[in-house]
Structure 1
């Protein structure tokens, strides 16, 4: 790793702050994506300071102080996956339990972190450059165990994230009968992140094993060669660099529209990227101005799309989800789901009054308005109009007398 290669994690840290500062208001899952990228790139910075800076001061600083950071990679990745695909966007006390390993490591390493800097620097320089003996004792665990543990921890969270993703997919199918239209691109993006983390963590684990166990041969190639220090740092550094680069191959991810994509299947790549750019986010400071904007927005009936959500509406209007939600709950005294069904039923009523019921069946009207099933449509219609769709259609037919 040359000194120029340190620019990759610096660029990654800069990208993290873009996500956190500018784009998190459009989609709050970007907060966890930013924290995940920040942790990843800080880990690379620590590797550089410890093994390539050749400065004893940075060796002392990077040796142990950032170990808890390694145990935040898995939780922030899981938080990001969960917060993106789950309907429940709140951060609960059970989510906080995932931080326990990082907190434990922080307390476990206190005996070392509280030592004078010159003592830590001397110990770190000796271990890194000469002995490679990581059996340093902390509270309850050794340094060697933590180095093994951090790789295993990331791999376990990668498996947990994949499991949660597919479990949530089944829940959506069971509840709504379909999944978001851009589910494939979200899956590709998640699996790209997760695969890179598994490769990096597995290489790190393999490198640690070669330090303390006899070499194993694969097709005549020694594990010492496969998991050499040079290969280890190249794969880890390269993996994190590729991760930063891949983010720009998913513009919908980088620019905020991750929950549901626009209907751009026939559009050019340039149009897709252009539509994904987040414009200036604004709060609902002027309700009357927003309502005028809302009337114009509703002229195209975006609510009849089956995957129309608060996230999509937020992206289209460039207004944070929390502000839209507050408008529905406080100004209209209803949830977004109730408001959406109101719009859909009004849309169907208009179709019926214009005579379209002659060519539409109840099932067709339901699908046209964006409902997932005939029964949900009938329930929503009856609760708002007081009669079933069939009875309403019948009442609109001209009298034969």
Structure 2
């Protein structure tokens, strides 16, 4: 039986369970910031000095930037930033998904990012995301398709499971025991969501009902599968946290929790504290709201301008700023220890992990590593060092991309976990509070 989460772990599991898509993650983040007194700024509106003089945030699609001003109100003063990402690998619904074979109704999907494909088999899956619908004017006769006035997005989430990816029975795949499981993403990951004959437009009609519009008013969607099983504390001693989307919603929560703690302090932080939650990290970040895009830089420049500063002031600020790129890290796998660099084993429950790579797959250098170690030492948080095995390709994070775009010193940090990119991942309960503590110390360091 799973244990009941408490404290920081309960807060983290609530965040994850409420956030089955990047759009829901941003909505959950906004609710946390609203409750803490942050001002919500319009991404397309004009910002004044009054808008940015206190804790505030701006959201765009599946991304968010939030800040707490430092005691030095000079627009050229340095900042401390934490970056994380809202997206996770998985299955997403195609634009024309309706299909079927042998009396089974199915939905066509594409694999988003580097998903562990086998982890999506035989799981009860819900659907969540957002729908672009035609905005209607109730004052016009014949509202609906005849009375449209642009489009708007509506979020949706099923209350329970609506589909499943069935695995082939072993009686029809005897080679699986000797040759292993091989999944073709075009053929073998198409979920079943009902019985009968499939018809073009079935999914659109169903989706229209989910968001309360006529099916003709559904224009497009971003719809993604999620495992409906909630996050849970497990283990004989309740020391493990099993959950979907730990990569990277755990770090999103940690960054937000740290920022809220800074905002609640008796005095402002020494320097301005900034959180950026990017989307699309799992597919390379080259999007409008990804870390390889210009949005964060634009938000920071607009904030400096609202303070009365110039672009030169922003560049002066960035020259003295530091970024903590927060993305989950690989714990040493007990069943595959040979896949890890033998001098750098990482222990779950051992505290935050500084990620190093001489080929800049991570952005850490000696100076940024020393800065993070210093704040952790002051906060009483243990630190570990990760280095990837030399004969395996190394993953990456938003760290190198953001560092390159902003030219800021950056350290890549994560919490140790197993089953990264699975539909359900695993970390130590004991690493949750040290994450929040280390991130808060990063913001409050002098």
TM-score range, shorter chain: under 0.3
Bigger relative contact order (CA 8 A; separation at least 6): 2
The TM-score, its normalising length taken from structure 1, stands at 0.24
The TM-score, its normalising length taken from structure 2, stands at 0.22
Which structure features the higher share of helix residues?
1
